[in-house]
Structure 1
Amino acid sequence: MKIARRNLFAGLLAGAATPALAGAAAVHRAVPALSPPRWGKGVEGQRKADLGDGTFLNPIVAGDHPDPTILKDGGDYYITFSSFYSYPGLVIWHSTDLVNWAPVGPALFKPLGVIWAVDLVKHEGRYFIYIPADPTGKGWSIFVIWADDIGGPWSDPIDLKIEGSIDPGHVVGEDGKRYLFTNGVRKIRLTDDGLATDGVLEKAYEPWRYPDDWVVENFAPEGPKLLRRNGWFYLVTAVGGTAGPVTGHMVIAARSRSVQGPWEHCPHNPLVRTVGAAEPWWSRGHGSLVEGPAGDWWMVYHGYENGFRTLGRQTLLAPVEWTADGWFRVLGGDLSKPLPKPKGGRAGPSGLALSDDFTVDRMGVQWAFHDPAADEASRAGYEPKGLRIKGRGASPADSAPLTCTVGDRAYEVEITIELRGEAEGGLLLFYNHKAFVGLGFTPSSLKTFEYSEELAWARKPHDARVMRLRIGNDDNVVTYHYSYDEGRTWQRHGTRMEVSGFHHNVFGGFLSLKVGVYGAGPGDVLLRDFTYRALTPSLS
């Protein structure tokens, strides 16, 4: 596999195999306590699905990795996720056993606005990603990018002009023609090269309906993924809404001898669903089928972690059983217990080291600008001593912070920030411009941001252009420390904050609470020595 920009990611992949430093852990819940789960320990103590004894414990990709689309490519597996407002975006991950995943690199560098559930496919030796996006804020369309190597380079986006559609699912019909299915569930034929449409968008399937008294967000048929097996086309769809009540989201299936239909409902519907708030994973749905290394079958899907919606929707894996009548069932129950790993796989690197000395370009793999302007990339530049970010806006509320996805229930991050000119900089936990907390500073004062507003009464005068800032997030309780001498001595900030409400059901957007670093005002901020370590939650 040739990986474009290989030097950018060599340090990341090497770091993914380094020894663990600290533990990962249990949970603070809004429901009666469950038995505390115990994950494996990966790099920097980050939780790891592979338990090292032939079993694994979900999630297989922790943190905000929703709407998984998975591709089996010989003995390799590739997966990517919705990247929403993060650019560079659409990071592709690689595995050889379906449990241990490490990043390859981003596929999308040109901003398209918000991006939802994509589809990663390979057809006649070429890779394609079909992308629903709203680049103007005036309506959705579906775009496509392509590459001759999974590591890139990837093409610029091509607008297929499938207006008002999201959640594409690619399939080759029995006629040899290529089709996209979209939310609804609708379909449209593509040209043979997959880079344009060759027909009209039309109704394809009327999805199975759950009982009317079930508590769900809304009907919302979406995320169609298709598979051809033993003369049948299987259509796997999400219904019930992707957030809202914990019992809403689910996976259903149908099958047909033809992509033209008619489709028959699976008698086992719904195949995946959270049935109560005591389960460890909420709002489970958006599934795709994939064949394992030894020929057995699995489903990847996503869910919110009980008590930790702040982490976003995380990627889950469950075994699939094919039945004698040609249907399938999804096993694994509520995924509260370890499961046997897929047979025949070869464990590889897992996760990525997040600590960063800013000597290697990690843009897209670790760091991404939130909702960037067209010229956002020009704000960033690597220097011998760190990463320079040009100021934008007047505060975190109107800047485009640099963000980093995290997947642990408890963690601690530190960074040294140096101000140049009259810039302002700081360290945040950032959901969106309406929802963030953190510390910032100017040359003349230390600032405190609580629930997206500065606490003016807490502003502390000082004379400083270099500070080291620390944020600890322990079961959604946030503690701050700051240092004026590069971390040799620390002062604990007098205010703690609780952030369990920073998630989609409160602020919308389907996002997660990420670590963020911002630069604002006239001048630059220089970022140095970012460190991350997972913690054992104090309430475990």
Structure 2
Amino acid sequence: MSNSTVRNPILPGFHPDPSILRVGEDYYIANSTFEWYPGIRLHHSRNLRDWTPIGHALTSPAALPLRGVPNSGGVWAPSLSYHDGRFWLVYAVVYTTGGPFKDLDIFLVHASSMTGPWSEPAYLGGGGFDPSLFHDDDGRSWLVNMTWDARPGHHPFGGIVLQEVDLLRGCLVGEQRRILTHDELVEGPNLYRRDGWYYLMLAEGGTGWNHGILMARSRTIDGPYELDPSGSLLTSRDNPGLTLQKAGHGELVQTPTGEWYLVHLASRPVLAHGERRSILGRETCLQQVRWTDDGWLRLHHGGHWPAEEVPVPPSASPPPTPADAAAHPAPLIAPPTAAEPAALAALPTAAEPAALAALPAAPVARDEFESPELSSDWNSLRQPMSGDWVSLEERPGWLRLRGRQSLWSRFGLSLVAQRLTSTRVVVTASVECKPSYSGQQAGIVFWYDTTTHFFLGVTGSEEGPRVVLAKSDDGRYTEDVTAIEVDGPLLLRGTLDGHRLQFAISTDGESWQDIGATLDASVLSDDYGSALRFTGAFTGLAAVDSYAGRLPADFAFFEIRAE
């Protein structure tokens, strides 16, 4: 691969609903995080090819109220913008899914730098998800989102709506205007202005195999909007042989030299039991696009299928190294001169096989827990990591988790995890724990959500410590218990090969004993189960104590090795 191309996905693993922004030479991407903490993962690039994580925008319960939200609820489809010297980020927190209703709140935060601190959230109502902000040439700003209609006999897509936003006061003003309706579900609206036209970029057809991107345009901001007569700008719905499936939901960015690019989501499914399963979830991809003479947007390479390899312009400056990113992760932008209201005061900083290789993937990622804080690769569920259940100080050189509620809980779960970016990995960890009861456990997980995951670890019993392999399969729970003799740390290993997952244990790191039969890891996907699923597979560490809620479990290291 030459220096002038990039191979998709540019952000592998769970990185759905990408929003892209350029300020000067710097590009930024924000992604949905759903029920995971911290909220809204951020990346930075200077060349559209090399992307460095720069943290998260939402790091506190005030900005991210996730306690008890359903699986695949939480933060849906954030959208970035830049206006009057500040970065703006609008997002929805979804509290109800899977039925006729979508209960949610829309929030707006802002910052002078992409690395924060971000402001307290301003409430912008509800009614529909996938909000975005559009800043017009006349200085006015607008909230654009879809609306949800739960009435029996009505199409759930109630249309795309527009309403003015007062950024200084952090509130909506004026009347809401419905600017587009459609017979099919369209969502993810983003407005652009070019050559006297207002353009709507829309995600169409749901977020599964029928997904795509559709364009519409109007001479006035409130419509009427005409749909692109050529149909979908981007989709893979009509070619199941493509590596990149479910292509859709995107945003546009223009380079300093005038080229146009589109970031969008797509999935790389594995084939399991004759079905396609997207274990890695929805990933972020990049396409080059162009404007036609008659003012419509087209993929630069032609057609509407996503390309696996895309040309990118040479960068004016080299991409930041990880050290540079840590020291200077984003340029500081001067704040506007107008005073901000107290409501917006800043928060404290707080298809197999080769086609499915992780892109890009370090061969080994190992954490020996020697730093004072966990890296931004680690995530927790529905709440921040706090000292009452996770610590790197109580036993220096070890990660201590204190067991709390079961792995099915949506309220008090002691679990930290990282995204899977490849379907061929070996995950290894060392745990030291002294459980006394069956309701006390500590070990490793391969995770989709509270109803579907695999756990291997140590547990207690009347006869002494045991190894437990617990399987949660779309709400069906089983476990296998194996007697062991262990005095000290126990090594745990999970080997993922496509959709096949095999667990093993060792007491010395030399001889390994397989635990249980080979498991079907394809259940850890968006495409399995009885409920809506929008995330992706994670792997990590967990501790449970259904009795006292304080059992310490110490982990000496955690390693993900790409095969």
1:342 maps to amino acid: P
Say which is worse superposed, 255-264 or 474-483, in terms of deviation. 255-264
Where does residue 65 of structure 2 map in the other structure? 112
Task: Give the one of 147, 155, 164 matched to 1:189.
Answer: 164
Distance 2:200 2:414 in 1: 39
Where does residue 232 of structure 1 map in the other structure? 197
**Cα offsets for 1:166-202 (capped at 9, x unmatched):** 1011112354211010013111111142721113333
Distance 2:313 2:433 in 1: 50
2:496 maps to amino acid: N
Q: Is the 8 A contact 2:408 2:451 kept in 1?
A: no
Task: Give the one of 216, 232, 251 matched to 1:288.
Answer: 251
Secondary structure at 1:500 match in 2: helix
Where does residue 155 of structure 1 map in the other structure? 119
Where does residue 491 of structure 2 map in the other structure? 468
Distance 1:322 1:402 in 2: 44
**Cα offsets for 1:260-315 (capped at 9, x unmatched):** 22322223321011112112122211011111343211111001113250100011
TM normalised by structure 2 equals 0.78
Secondary structure at 2:495 match in 1: strand
2:369 maps to amino acid: F
**Cα offsets for 1:42-78 (capped at 9, x unmatched):** xxxxxxxxx3453222111111100000110110001
Aligned length in residues: 469
2:123 maps to amino acid: D
Q: Within 5 A, what are the aligned runs for 1:492-503?
A: 492-503=514-525
Report how far residue 379 of structure 1 moved. 1.6
Please tell me whether residue 391 in structure 1 is matched to residue 427 in structure 2: no
Distance 2:375 2:187 in 1: 27
Task: Give the one of 465, 468, 475 matched to 1:447.
Answer: 468
Task: Give the one of 407, 432, 439 matched to 2:449.
Answer: 432
1:402 maps to amino acid: V
Secondary structure at 1:197 match in 2: strand
Distance 2:138 2:361 in 1: 41
2:121 maps to amino acid: P
**Cα offsets for 1:181-225 (capped at 9, x unmatched):** 001311111114272111333312224x6xxxxxxxxx3211011
Where does residue 532 of structure 1 map in the other structure? 560
Report how far residue 442 of structure 1 moved. 2.1
Where does residue 371 of structure 2 map in the other structure? 360
Distance 1:375 1:286 in 2: 31
2:52 maps to amino acid: A
Q: Is the 8 A contact 1:98 1:292 kept in 2?
A: no
Q: Is the 8 A contact 1:447 1:455 kept in 2?
A: no
Q: Is the 8 A contact 1:446 1:462 kept in 2?
A: no
Q: Is the 8 A contact 1:271 1:329 kept in 2?
A: yes
Report how far residue 96 of structure 1 moved. 0.9
Q: Within 5 A, what are the aligned runs for 1:9-20?
A: none
Distance 2:253 2:9 in 1: 17
Please tell me whether residue 242 in structure 1 is matched to residue 221 in structure 2: no
Task: Give the one of 1, 10, 23 matched to 1:73.
Answer: 23
Distance 1:377 1:133 in 2: 25
Distance 2:267 2:488 in 1: 40
Distance 1:129 1:386 in 2: 36
Where does residue 95 of structure 1 map in the other structure? 45
**Cα offsets for 1:235-272 (capped at 9, x unmatched):** 101110012xx2x1110111223322232222332101
Report how far residue 132 of structure 1 moved. 0.2
Secondary structure at 2:192 match in 1: strand
Report how far residue 229 of structure 1 moved. 2.2
Q: Which runs of 4+ in 1 moved over 6 A?
A: 350-353
Q: Is the 8 A contact 1:168 1:223 kept in 2?
A: yes
Say which is worse superposed, 83-92 or 169-178, in terms of deviation. 169-178
Distance 2:487 2:39 in 1: 35
Unaligned runs of 5+ in 2: 67-73, 147-158, 271-276, 322-359
Where does residue 416 of structure 1 map in the other structure? 430
TM normalised by structure 1 equals 0.81
Q: Is the 8 A contact 1:89 1:368 kept in 2?
A: no
Task: Give the one of 110, 115, 129 matched to 1:146.
Answer: 110
Q: Is the 8 A contact 2:435 2:458 kept in 1?
A: no
Distance 1:361 1:235 in 2: 46
Distance 1:380 1:403 in 2: 13
1:70 maps to amino acid: I
2:526 maps to amino acid: H
Distance 2:23 2:137 in 1: 21
Q: Within 5 A, what are the aligned runs for 1:26-425?
A: 51-110=1-60, 111-113=64-66, 114-134=74-94, 139-160=103-124, 162-183=125-146, 184-193=159-168, 195-207=170-182, 219-243=184-208, 246=209, 248-274=210-236, 275-307=238-270, 308-332=277-301, 334-335=305-306, 337-344=308-315, 346-349=318-321, 354-360=365-371, 363=374, 365-372=376-383, 378-383=388-393, 384-395=396-407, 399-419=413-433, 422=436, 423-425=440-442
Report how far residue 488 of structure 1 moved. 4.0
Distance 2:527 2:447 in 1: 16
Unaligned runs of 5+ in 1: 1-50, 210-218, 536-540
User: CA 1:340 to 1:375, structure 2 compared with 1: closer, same or farther past 3 Å?
Assistant: closer
Q: Is the 8 A contact 2:28 2:43 kept in 1?
A: yes
Q: Within 5 A, what are the aligned runs for 1:501-516?
A: 501-507=523-529, 508-516=532-540
Q: Is the 8 A contact 2:444 2:456 kept in 1?
A: yes
Q: Is the 8 A contact 2:402 2:414 kept in 1?
A: no
